[in-house]
Amino acid sequence: MSTTTATTSNSTYTNPILPGWHSDPSCVFVPEENNTFFCTTSSFLSTPAIPIYASQDLTTWKLASHVVTRRSQVPEISNATSQTQQDGLWASTIRYRKGKFYLLTSYVSMYPDFKFTGLLFTSSDIFDDAAWSEPLRFQIGDIDPDIFWDDDVDGQAYITYAGISQVPIDLETGETGTPYKLWAGTGAGLPEGPHIYKKDGWYYLCIGEGGTELGHRQVIARSRKVSGPYEGYEANPVLTNAGTGEYFQTVGHADLFQDKEGHWWGVALATRSGPNWRVYPMGRETVLFPVTWEDGEWPVLGAVRGTMTGPLPVPECETPPGDGPYVDADDDIDFEPGSGIPRTFLFWRFPNEESFAVSPAERPYSLRLLPLKSNITGSGAAEGSDADPAITLVTRIQSHTYFTYSVDISFAPTKEGEEAGITLFLTQYQHIDLGIVLLPSSSSAPSSHEPKALKPHLRFQTTLLDDLNTPATQNVTVPDTVAKALPSSRGSEIKARLKIQAIDDTHYTLSATLLDSSPGSKFEFTHEVEAVLVSGGTGRFTGALLGTYATSNGGDGGTPAYISRWRYNGLGQKIERIDTRGEDA
């Protein structure tokens, strides 16, 4: 392992640095951790929750840990309070102080009223999931908590939150003082995502405004006291792509930090949609920009583009620390005996762990899925119910514009409605599925005393239980459901390769090929679908997930499905409105 403290000249890099659904970023530089940067992003209802990524050069990132891996930490994620697809763990702040990492966030419930609870997690080993504490819960007046210690005065810790207000907090008890208003922003509305920095005797308050859509922007104010009054910068906004033709839109919700050479940097969320803001299945992603901040002056934030330059730091190590996967890594997973659920995998809410088994004795080198009655469509338990709303769904983030994802499925359904397949998943209200399902045969003609014969079918269908929320999508044609009977196989079990491909940045194809059909009964299926169907709508805060599922569709079937040869191959990123294929966003 070699080390260096050399200062680099400007280097070229590309955005996003955390591709795919990685919204509301917050980052910290920690010299005590071998000069490593750590960033976190929102997770909403996905688990394990609140990912932490590590890097030493700001462009190569590996998963360090997840903050929430135990149901006891945030039981709200899995019970009946999670009634909307935007509930869950929203924007976080990560900070480091005296050997300890602090992660602040809020659990948000949007039904029946908008409510939020402050949560503070701590860890002394950021590379260990289990080291993250149970949360210290505290009262908060709004979302997006930030923490700041006034070490130059009395060491008091302050929580600042959307609004923009502040309270002192006791980090032992969670007790907070009387809240007071800091700043109303510049008038663009929805002031949120605050962060406080102290520099050259000034307290700087940097916030997002204008909502996390096309009007998103970053503004800044400063004061001689942490409690204000704060005076806004006359040249605000300091960061935005609003009103431009840039491919990266919705830029805002920024956080600023320094590297080992004293250079300033910023991260923000952004959407690769162009000004039409129509097709953006990967949702809000994390982008990096250089910052110039002279003594006593206001910071100058670099404009967010696909191709960037800046004084990138020289890494201390040849590879980022930790044993986690790279953020944009491919999947080549065969579910070997002795292995567990890969760290790239995500569930929607906490899973029923009995529904998933890696390399079971009866079928090594596979992932066994046991269906629950719960379909992947829905909102969980009914209001007031104690039922676990777990669904048999396991996914990964779409982290490339162009990709191929496939799995092999072995499935022998025996009861009507049993289903297993793959999904392009945004929320439980918005997904596109291709599955093997046992349905009545349309070719049989039973008498009045006999039920129709059941036969395995391949079924393509979309679930869109809400409109897509943007005028640009009102003329989109939602594809019809297609169900085709499968030919006889060599045995009772259907063996098929199911695949999702991004053929360009606006369309997917879903396809199926039987792997063990009888001679002369070759079966193939391909269906194209628009990516706008998983852009915005009920998932305007999230992004596309790719995965596999099993369900009895409300019945009492319990036939397992076996998933093998899980493959995800990233094929490239589109970072400009006109890419190498000549396609305009």
Among candidate residues 192, 285, 388, 579, the one labeled active-site is 192
Among candidate residues 24, 33, 76, 144, the one labeled active-site is 24
Give 231's strand partners.
222
DSSP secondary-structure letter at 360? -
Active site residue 192: yes
Note whether 169 and 175 are within 8 A (CB): yes
Count Cβ neighbours within 10 Å for each residue of 542-556 and write b for 16 or more, e otherwise.
bbbbbbbbbbbbeee
- As to burial, measured by CB atoms within 10 angstroms (0-12 exposed, 13-18 middle, 19+ buried), residue 342 is middle
Note whether 391 and 375 are within 8 A (CB): yes
Question: Under DSSP, is residue 146 helix (H, G, I), strand (E, B) or coil?
Answer: strand
Active site residue 144: no
Helix, strand, coil proportions of the chain in percent (round to 5)? 5, 45, 55
Gap between the Cα atoms of 425 and 559, Å rounded: 23
Gap between the Cα atoms of 207 and 384, Å rounded: 37
Note whether 543 and 20 are within 8 A (CB): yes
C-alpha distances (whole Å) from 121 to each of 68, 392, 432 are 9, 28, 35
Gap between the Cα atoms of 280 and 182, Å rounded: 35
Nearest C-alpha neighbor of 210 from the set 231, 227, 193, 197: 193
* Catalytic site positions: 24, 192
